[in-house]
């Protein structure tokens, strides 16, 4: 069991580097024996609104516990940068999404979460995975996640990726273009069939302009490609996939997409005599990174989308397809906290610049509401530009204590949607226990 440790020593001078190593080597804690039932709701400190629900300030207000574990203790034991994920929170969020969308939820996890521990949680909570490469599929297969519960994006355009998907048994492969149809079918072994989804761009105002993949619904290319898929004996078309765009907070972006997709399903039935079974709706739900940021009401969103789906199907005499949601990394974002050490504080002509440790891919995720923990800070706050020593992601501006200094420990909430390197420590906390999740 992880025991509480005192706050870290007084700030000291640090040279810029990629990591602050652990300060102590305590015995590794055992994993939680079981998943406990959620505790009764409690009144929360307003400053903790965007932190994991288990987050609490210590009595002196200088430190914070998540999952009953002091964050300063995690930094002492595992060094920084490090990521702390609340297992109870992660599981509860998986359950909440599946309760809202019982036909299925596909988790788009940050690469750092594609480790045996978090993957076991996703499997046990009966969710699937949406992966974006054959490399990610290989990684989750090695971790023991059932590949038949994987929907794989970005693989059908590359013969090597197709070979990996077929060898490992990916449940579904998403086709992004007409050319993908023949390319994938040519590699499927005789006597077998690969389930596929066709990505469709519905032509709504929220359709992602940045994404060139996907068949257009308005110009008829999606319907034509469906005919090509149905003509392939080695492919089985399960349904349609649609990405409604990022920063979704309400059902509004989904509704016109659902109406247009149901119209396509009806035309496919009329032209080819086939009723497709699944409708997979992708799009990034918003995760709050500052107090007051909007977040989706899952129950209301799901009810409104399903009502639109039922109404549209009734108007075209179609059976209601399975509605599967792919909400992006917002599902896991609120469950994690990032820990970094301050390496340098500089007051320049353009304002204060605070540099934290981390290499080229470990940043301060959406650092709009970080806190200095481990000591009492001055009540005054001032804006500071946060950068990392290794560069990489754009700098962000945050309000930090006026007396922030070299050696301070910075904790940033809503970090579960970012992608730290696989060698960055990821620590699961639950029931006052902490354990290092192996990569």
Please give the residue that has the higher pLDDT: either 188 or 42.
188
pLDDT, tens digit (0-9, with 9 covering 90-100), for 281-339: 998 888 887 778 888 999 999 999 999 999 999 999 999 999 999 998 788 888 999 99
**Domain 46-86+334-437 in this protein, CATH class:** mainly beta
Dihedral of alpha carbons 199, 176, 102, 249, sign = negative
What number of other Cβ atoms are within 10 A of residue 358's Cβ? 28
- Can you give the residue ranges of every domain in the chain? 46-86+334-437, 87-332
- DSSP per position, 24-88: --PPPPPPPSSPPPPPPP----GGGTTS-TT-EE-TTSS-EEETTEEHHHHHHHH-BSEEEEEHH
Backbone dihedral region for residue 273 (phi beyond 0: left; psi -120 to 50: alpha; all else: beta): left
The CA-CA-CA angle for residues 57, 60, 65, to 5°, reads: 25
> Does 353 or 108 have the greater pLDDT score?
353
pLDDT above 70 covers a percentage of the chain that reads 83
87-332: what fold?
A: TIM Barrel (3.20.20)
- Whole-model pTM: value is 0.85
Each residue of 232-271: pLDDT tens digit?
A: 999 999 999 999 988 899 999 999 999 999 999 999 999 9
- Angle (nearest 5°) at CA 143 between 333 and 280: 55
How wide is the angle at C-alpha 58 spanned by C-alphas 55 and 63, nearest 5°? 80
């Amino acid at each position: 069991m992880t025991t509480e440790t005192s706050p870290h020593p007084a700030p000291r001078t640090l040279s810029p580097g990629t990591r602050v190593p652990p300060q102590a080597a305590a015995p590794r804690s055992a994993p939680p024996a079981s998943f406990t039932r959620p505790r009764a709701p409690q009144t929360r400190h307003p400053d903790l609104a965007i932190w994991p629900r288990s987050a609490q300030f210590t009595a002196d207000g200088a430190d914070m516990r998540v999952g009953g574990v002091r964050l300063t203790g995690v930094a002492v034991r595992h060094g920084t940068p490090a990521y702390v994920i609340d297992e109870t929170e992660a599981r509860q969020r998986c359950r909440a999404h599946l309760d809202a969308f019982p036909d299925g939820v596909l988790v788009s996890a940050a690469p750092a979460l594609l480790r045996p521990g978090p993957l076991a949680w996703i499997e046990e909570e009966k969710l699937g995975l949406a992966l974006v490469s054959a490399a990610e599929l290989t990684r989750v297969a090695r971790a023991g996640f059932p590949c038949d519960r994987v929907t794989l994006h970005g693989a059908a355009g590359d013969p090597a990726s197709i070979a990996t998907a077929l060898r490992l048994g990916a449940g579904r492969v998403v086709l992004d273009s007409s050319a993908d149809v023949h390319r994938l079918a040519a590699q499927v072994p005789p006597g077998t069939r690969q389930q596929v989804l066709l990505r469709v761009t519905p032509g709504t105002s929220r359709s992602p302009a940045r994404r060139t993949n996907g068949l257009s619904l308005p110009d008829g290319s999606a319907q034509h490609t469906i005919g090509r898929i149905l003509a392939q004996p080695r492919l089985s078309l399960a349904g349609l996939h649609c990405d409604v765009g990022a920063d979704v907070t309400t059902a509004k972006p989904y509704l016109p997409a659902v109406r247009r997709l149901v119209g396509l399903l009806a035309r496919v039935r009329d032209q080819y005599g086939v009723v497709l079974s699944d409708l997979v709706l992708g799009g990034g739900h918003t995760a709050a990174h500052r107090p007051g940021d909007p977040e989706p009401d899952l129950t209301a969103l799901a009810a409104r989308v399903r009502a639109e789906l039922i109404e549209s199907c009734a108007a075209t005499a179609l059976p209601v397809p399975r509605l599967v949601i792919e909400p992006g990394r917002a599902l896991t974002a609120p469950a994690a906290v990032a820990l970094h050490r301050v390496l340098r504080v500089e007051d320049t002509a353009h304002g204060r610049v605070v540099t934290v440790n981390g290499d080229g891919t470990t940043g301060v995720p959406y650092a709009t509401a970080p806190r200095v923990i481990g000591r009492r800070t001055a009540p005054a706050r001032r804006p500071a530009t946060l950068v990392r020593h290794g560069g990489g992601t754009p700098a962000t501006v945050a309000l930090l204590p006026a007396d922030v200094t070299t050696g301070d420990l910075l904790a940033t909430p809503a970090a579960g949607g970012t992608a730290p390197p696989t060698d960055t420590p990821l620590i699961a906390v639950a029931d006052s226990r902490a354990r290092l999740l192996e990569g």
